Structure 1
Amino acid sequence: MADVDLRKLRYFVAVAEQLHFGRAAEQLYIAQPVLSRQIRALEDELSVQLFVRDRRSTALTPAGEQLLADARPLLAGAQALRRRVLRAARRADTFTVGFMPGLIVTPPVRAMADRHPDLTLELVRTTWDDQTTAIHDGRVDVSFVRFPIDAQGLSVRPLHTEPRVVVVSADHRLAGKKTVDVADLADEHLLQVPDLVPEWRGVATELRIGRADVPVFHSVEEKLEHVAAGRGIVILPLSVMTFYTRPDIAYLTVRDIAPNQVSLAWGADRHSLLIEEFADLAAALGPPVTREALGARDR
């Protein structure tokens, strides 16, 4: 069988996700007839039919569904390969560190810069959604990550744990308390993926039967806006909450919830003296400093 053209795969994925040739063509900035010809050419190369089309709809065939499942990681891998090659071309003088919200990673970064004055240190802010993807696709050399993560293909060095707190609106019924139990939160709207808070999920399952699903928000800023508006609660690491302190929300310690694990991670296939050196610095210099700790130190 002939090699599959990655460009045709990108075109196929666009149509498969839109299930509409016109919208897919607009997304790809190409003419619809050109897109249709490319899809037909791909079907000829693979000797299968990928879509069933009529005047009203476009649907994937079983072969199309299988190709979509395989094409997404293949295209992501190709993009990651390109990024890694580009980074390799300039790796001799650049080292990039990823970090999650709430973590201030200045101490190890400055220590690394002091040791290697000719090395350019770059920083990339990551999120819950891409903290490991940024490692796999080559955007960062190492990254400070928060568990839980999929550690497959990664080398991970645990650094420290920190408490997690529940964040509520300033006028919430619990806002005046200093500590709560997970059971106190069972009937609340959780504005994040429940799997990230298994303790809450366990006590809330029965009480939430029949309740409407709540949209899940992914950025810290989005979550806090909805908390402040009284639309639900979030559970965050303490350093995140102290970093984003604002007057229209309050945060409380949750007594019976596991702390958050902060670790340093990098690709398991990366064997670099710079990575090992940075990992040693991150472990030796202790927990990343929070804004609250900086304020306390200055008083």
Structure 2
Amino acid sequence: MDVDLRKVRYFVAVAEELHFGRAAERLHIAQPVLSRQIRALEDELKVQLFVRSKRATELTSAGQQLLEDARPVLASAEAMRRRTVQAARAERIFTIAFMPGITVTPLVRELASAQPELTVELLRTTWDDQVEVLHDGRADVSIVRLPIDQQGLTVRPLFDEPRVAMLPADHRLAGKPVIRIADLADDHLLQDPDAVPEWRDVAVELREGRGRPAPHYRSIEEKLEHVAAGHGISVIPLSTATFYTRPDVVAVPVEDLGPNRVALAWPSSRRSRTLPAVAALAENLAWA
């Protein structure tokens, strides 16, 4: 039996709203039409998905299971649509994603010179979505900061760059020309300790069992706000620190801190005549 994805999309709207009227408004369809589509889906699946009363609409156990399964299916279908559309437009529009601190202007200029008929679009990413934009079709290539999950991707190294410690301006080490990671052993790190194993291995708070859950920041600006406020320190690539300078935060070199590695990534299944040219241009540029 083939399940109509449109009906599944309607079901998810009702399941998330738990109100047929609000779901109909969200979908821009009439409520009676929505009710008929849900009944048709229940008939197809031969299960009851909702329990409706005058006061509330609730999911049955079958409905809860369908909601759990439906979300990734719809996301996959949307990604497929984006990749298909992208493949059709790739010969005239090419999207390059990039992480904060990385300047892609030289690559864009070289590509525009080599293929003047091509429109190059840019997409700024974060640690959270630098790979996701490739899988869901928003970008053709992504200039990523490693490590990443490389499954399904082709990854070409571009360059390494130093990482620095971002400290509040009144920090005891803020005036030092260079420090060692052990100098930060008493500080709190505002990121996942696994991202900075050198600090993790010497951190006093971890050794004493006082470690706190790693906070989730949506942007580098948000992270630096917390550094400036004295909530802790952060370790970021030098180019990012240079790009986001501010008077209340100081970047200090750490001599025994490993570099950040930058690479070009794209889906291994992607077929485009532009991709090899972009990869060659990126690998030949003097990034650092």
Q: Normalised by the size of structure 2, how large is the TM-score?
A: 0.83
Partner residue, 1:234:
234
Shift of 1:199: 3.3
- What is the rounded CA distance, in whole Å, between the counterparts of 1:181 and 1:50 in structure 2? 59
The answer on whether the counterparts of 1:170 and 1:249 sit within 8 Å (CA) in structure 2 is yes
> Where does residue 142 of structure 1 map in the other structure?
141
Partner of 2:4: 5
Q: TM-score, structure 1 length as denominator?
A: 0.80
Other-structure match for 1:95: 94
Using a 3 Å threshold, how does the CA distance of structure 1 residues 14 and 271 change in structure 2: closer, same or farther? same
Quote the RMSD (CA, aligned, Å).
3.1
Distance 2:257 2:35 in 1: 53
User: How many residues end up aligned between the 2 structures?
Assistant: 285
Structure 1 residue 285, shift from structure 2 partner: 1.0
1:129-162 deviation line (CA, Å, top 9, x unaligned): 1111111122111110111111111111011111
SS of 1:150's equivalent in the other structure is coil
* Residue in structure 2 matched with residue 45 of structure 1 by the alignment: 44
Give the distance between the partners of 2:225 and 2:276, measured in 1 at CA: 39
* Counterpart check, 1:114 vs 2:88: no
| Structure 1 residue matching 2:94: 3-state secondary structure | strand
Task: Indicate the residue corresponding to 1:253 in structure 2.
Answer: 253
Letter in 1 for 2:272: S
Q: Select between 111-120 and 30-39 the one with higher mean Cα deviation.
A: 30-39
* SS of 1:140 mapped into structure 2: coil
In the TM superposition, what are the counterparts of 1:145-164 in structure 2 within 5 Å? 145-164=144-163
Q: Could you tell me whether the CA contact under 8 Å between 1:21 and 1:35 is conserved in 2?
A: no
What amino acid sits opposite 1:120 in the alignment? Answer: T
* Alignment match, 2:164: 165
| More moved, 194-203 vs 76-85 | 194-203
Query: Is 2:281 the counterpart of 1:281?
Result: yes
Change (3 A) 1:209 1:33: farther
Distance 1:214 1:203 in 2: 17
Partner of 1:185: 184
User: Residue 261 of structure 2 aligns to a residue in which SS?
Assistant: strand
In the alignment, structure 1 residue 129 sits paired with structure 2 residue 118: no
Give the Cα–Cα distance (whole angstroms) in 1 for the partners of residues 83 and 280 of structure 2.
24
Matched, 1:71 2:84: no
What is the Cα deviation at residue 247 of structure 1?
0.8
Offset at residue 66 of structure 1 (A): 4.6
Specify every segment of 5 or more residues in structure 2 that has no aligned partner in the other structure, as ranges. Answer: none
* Gaps in structure 1 of 5+ consecutive residues: 290-299
* Contact kept in structure 2, 1:186 and 1:207, CA below 8 Å: no
Q: Is the 8 A contact 1:143 1:264 kept in 2?
A: yes
Q: Distance between the aligned counterparts of 1:43 and 1:147, measured in 2?
A: 46
CA distance in 2, matches of 1:23, 1:255: 61
Q: Per-residue displacement from partner, 1:79-106 (whole Å, max 9, x unpaired)?
A: 1122222223322221211111100011
Shifted more, 86-95 versus 274-283: the winner is: 86-95
1: distance between equivalents of 2:89 and 2:208? 52
User: For residues 231 and 87 of structure 1, do their structure 2 counterparts lie closer, same or farther at Cα, with a shift above 3 Å needed?
Assistant: same
8 Å CA contact 2:18, 2:56 repeated in 1: no
CA contact under 8 A between 1:19 and 1:59: conserved in structure 2? no
* Greater shift in the superposed pair: 168-177 or 262-271: 168-177
Cα distance change on mapping 1:246 and 1:274 into 2, 3 Å: same
Q: CA deviation at 1:115?
A: 1.2
Check whether the contact 1:191–1:217 (CA below 8 A) recurs between aligned residues: no
Q: Is the CA contact (8 Å cut-off) linking 1:167 and 1:252 kept in structure 2? A: yes
